[in-house]
Amino acid sequence: MRIGEMARRAGVSTRALRYYEQQGLIRARRDVNGYREYDESDLQLIAEIRSRLTSGFNLEDARPFVECLRSGNPSGDSCPESVEVYRRKLAELDDQIRTLEARRADVAARLAGACTGCVLKGT
């Protein structure tokens, strides 16, 4: 299928498909006329990329998942490299949560000091 149909079916823009190709995440074949051609298996790769991006991963983080699928695995997260990305991402999220909790505590303390008798929500 051509790039327009692939974009429609995958729920992404043609620009995104070109960018994924430029980043080496997907590989379009070229017709004799130079048009990009995709097949059904590319839909799964794009879905994997989109799923990772939706979960807060970046494109580089998505690479091991795509490679895992390309190697014939039924799922992008069944390879050791993908599991390692999950571990790293969880550690990053835990760090961000700790940072946000500390910031929240600081803001709550400042509010309590500025507004005697104010009720803090969510504490």
DSSP single-letter state for residue 2: B
Q: Which amino acid is at 69?
A: L
Measured CA angle at 97 (ends 100, 108), to 5 deg? 30
* pLDDT value, residue 115: 87
Distance CA 102, CA 96 (A): 10
Helix axes 14-22 and 40-54, enclosed angle (nearest 10): 90
Pick the CATH number of 3-114 from 2.40.40.20, 1.10.520.10, 1.10.1660.10, 2.60.40.10: 1.10.1660.10
* pLDDT value, residue 18: 95
* pLDDT value, residue 77: 92
pLDDT tens sequence across 69-110: 999 999 999 999 999 999 999 999 999 999 999 999 999 899
